[in-house]
Amino acid sequence: MNNLYQHFRKEEHPFVDRILDWIDLVEERHQTIVTPFLDPREQFILQSIANYEQIGIAFCGGYEGAERVRGLLYPTYREPVENEFQVTALEIRSHNKHSNLKHPDYLGALLNTGIKREKCGDILVHPGLAYVLVTVDMAEYLRLTLNRIGKEPVSCQEIPLSQIGPGHEQWMEGSCTVASLRLDAVICEIFHLSRSKGAGYLTQGHVKHNWKVETRGFQEVAPGDMLSLRSYGRCQLLEVEGMSKRGKIRIRYRRIGI
């Protein structure tokens, strides 16, 4: 079992331990375990270990194509039922007709109520409102607690999952040139950072590469990779377009900012 840890980074080992505890409950006590909301990297780790241990696993984020989902671990002799995932939706609607609230505004307000990030799934932003996927046990608390986002009063109500629609994330496409496809070079260019500032963010663990915290700036980025920088937003490398006349690499990307 010790060999299992070599496949994951040191900072991911506590999450691996948590998975192994869940698996013990499934195997030894024949319990069904529903996990918190997991990001895609955590889903990958969970699925890798669950497949190795040969136990049943399913995911649900409240709607098709959800990025953050809850996992269900269960004995292989039974089938999961959708309501076991205990996912529900909240509609948060601003009372300001000219509201321009963004994803970080909603997320910040949710976390300011004192709940953990793992209790929230995707946040689907629309003009003047957002749909938030949450665990069922948090819905009533948030409905009663969340009445303001920044200076804007809001109303919060639980709605059926069937009523939510995909969010209106405003991706902005762009292109630039980089000296190399190193993570530090790409992050600095796309988010307009100095090399020293970018290096500092990497060292502090503020950068994620494909949903995994990455502190090594020399890691290479490839088309399709997702990058995020805390407080700046996230971006995806779409294409490497070739070399410029000055010998730099031309890249095309899309980005969501704060």
Alpha carbon distance 150, 252 (integer Å): 34
Amino acid at 118: E
45 has which bridge partners? none
pLDDT at 65: 86
Alpha carbon distance 88, 63 (integer Å): 10
Alpha carbon distance 199, 187 (integer Å): 10
pLDDT at 166: 67
CB 62 within 8 A of CB 164: yes
pLDDT at 256: 81
Q: What is the DSSP string of 142-180?
A: HHHH--EETTEEEEEEEE-GGG--------EEEEEEES-
pLDDT at 167: 63
CB 39 within 8 A of CB 67: yes
pLDDT digits (tens, 9 = 90+) for 118-156: 999 999 998 899 999 999 999 999 999 999 999 999 999
Closest CA to 9 of 210, 227, 233: 210
Q: Which domains does the chain have, with CATH numbers?
A: 2-84 (3.30.1370.160), 87-163 (3.30.70.330), 172-257 (3.10.290.10)
Query: Is-above-0.75 flag for pTM?
Result: yes
Sheet holding 120-126, edge to edge: 120-126, 129-135, 87-94, 152-159, 148-149
In a 13 Å sphere around the CA of 32, the CA atoms on its Cβ side amount to 18
User: To 5 degrees, how large is the angle CA 142–CA 207–CA 101?
Assistant: 40
Q: Would you put residue 150 in left (φ > 0), alpha (ψ -120 to 50) or beta?
A: left
The position carrying tokens 């984020």 is 61
Burial grade of 170 (CB within 10 A; 0-12, 13-18, 19 or more) = exposed
Alpha carbon distance 4, 53 (integer Å): 11
The count of residues in the chain is 258
pLDDT at 2: 61
| Parallel, antiparallel or unpaired: strands 33-38 and 56-60 | unpaired
Low-confidence ranges of the chain (pLDDT < 50): none
